[in-house]
Amino acid sequence: MTPRHLLSLALVTLSACSSASISESSGFGAAPLVTVTSANGTLSVAVRTSPQPPVEGDAEAQLTVTEAATGKPVDGLAVTVVPWMPAMGHGASVVPTVTAEGGGVYVATNLAFIMGGEWELRLTFAGPVADTANPSFNVQ
């Protein structure tokens, strides 16, 4: 191969690698399970889960938080997650841990979906933005 062909091959390989989203490579669903606007209308929150769709038992959620108006990622938030089952009027006894990944991405671990049905993630945001959001989805 000529150097020009090698360069072309390298560029094609790099563009193919960069087109794969972070969520695909980390085990989260490629497309959001659900996207909601926060209570104050300030934030947009895209939720991906692992596994996706979520099943009864332990799971993780990737929350991508952006400004609703601009789509710009929002970093520096303290995020609290409370898994809640509205039909039963309770949540899980396990407290999730939330880790900031950068680029507006926050990962919640220790999500204990103790039974199948409709669940909410009751999200509270503090820091540069104070707001709440309650994305809901079905756990199988």
The CATH number for 95's domain is 2.60.40.3340
Residue 14 located in a structural domain = no
Q: What are the 10-residue block averages of pLDDT along the chain, 140 residues in total?
A: 40 34 63 98 98 95 98 98 95 94 98 95 97 97
So what's the pLDDT on residue 15?
33
Number of domains making up the chain: 1
Residue 79 domain-assigned (yes or no): yes
Q: Write down the pTM of the prediction.
A: 0.81
Whether 64 is in a domain gets the answer yes
11 in any annotated domain: no
**45 close to 63: Cβ distance less than 8 angstroms:** yes
Cα-based distances in Å from 127 to 61, 76, 131 = 21, 7, 9
pLDDT at 26: 66
- Which range of residues forms the domain containing residue 135? 22-139
In a domain, 129, yes or no: yes
DSSP state of 95: P
